[in-house]
Amino acid sequence: MANPKMVALTIRKSLFVITLAGVLAGGLLPDSAMGQNCGCASDLCCSRWGYCGTSDDYCGTGCQEGPCYAAPPTNDVMVADIVTEDFFNGIISQADSSCVGKSFYTRDAFLEALNSYTSFGRVGTTDDSKREIAAFFAHVTHETGHFCYIEEIDGASKDYCDETSTEYPCAADKGYYGRGPLQLSWNYNYGSAGKNIGFDGLNSPETVANDVVISFKTALWYWMNNCHSIITSGEGFGPTIRAINGALECDGQNPATVQARAQYYTEYCDQFSVSPGDNLTC
């Protein structure tokens, strides 16, 4: 299974030279919600990567502390009414009976994890909510093979240690390969997700493959930090592919996988009786 987070490394390294990667283009309103000081001046935001600034890219999605922008108001959509048992089972039923994920992933675990991410699928109109849910599960379906895989195929043989990450250094003999519904990868993602969710992502990355609620939380954590504002601002499904695995799939790198993701998305939009919109590929 391809590395789903290479684009995150590109984004992170580009920020060292204050070059913005265009995956956080959501138009959040500048309503301030003051946070604690994390080393920035009091009038600056601490971005999700730990850099100080004042633009949307620092104060918007993933902002840790400072005058972060308030999240847009949620609508009255009940995600559980869209992600029904029939919908969830319709995905996982396509996995072979021998798949380890078939006895791991459950709708109940997803809904429990969702309690920590109350803006997911609840921003904008009802149709906007349906499109976000369809997009999330399209990527999950592709990344896990219809919930077949918990861990990346041959992931243990691959090196996902970014040694430049001083905040989240790699632990000895630990692998940060893809795990979970969105195949969380790289030490800085495990470290940051663990800090946010409440598990030791650096020293116990295997937790993502052993605890199904945490597993879904890591997928929702990554989605809310990297894809939520893209899809809710109407940019389309294509840019979410770039945010998840763009370095290996977009710009002609692997058009077949791009089309596969887009096909799942349009299929789920059809099931939800909503138009998929434009800009489906990257």
Indicate the helix (H) or strand (E) that contains 104.
Answer: none
Tokens read off for 206: 């295997």
Residue in this structure with the two tokens 């899809």, named with its chain if needed: 231
143 catalytic? Reply is: yes
End-to-end CA distance of the chain: 19
Sequence-ordered list of residues with C-beta below 8 angstroms from that of 150, at least 6 positions apart, any chain = 100, 101, 104, 105, 144, 179, 180, 209, 215
Contact yes or no for 214/208 (Cβ under 8 A): yes
Q: Is the dihedral of CA 76, 77, 78, 81 positive or negative?
A: positive
Of these residues, 143, 151, 152, 249, which one is catalytic? Answer: 143
Could you list the beta-strand ranges (E) of 32-157: 32-33, 45-46, 52-53, 68-69
Indicate the helix (H) or strand (E) that contains 257.
Answer: helix 255-271
87 by DSSP, 3-state: which?
A: helix
Contact yes or no for 223/120 (Cβ under 8 A): yes
| Catalytic (active-site) positions | 143
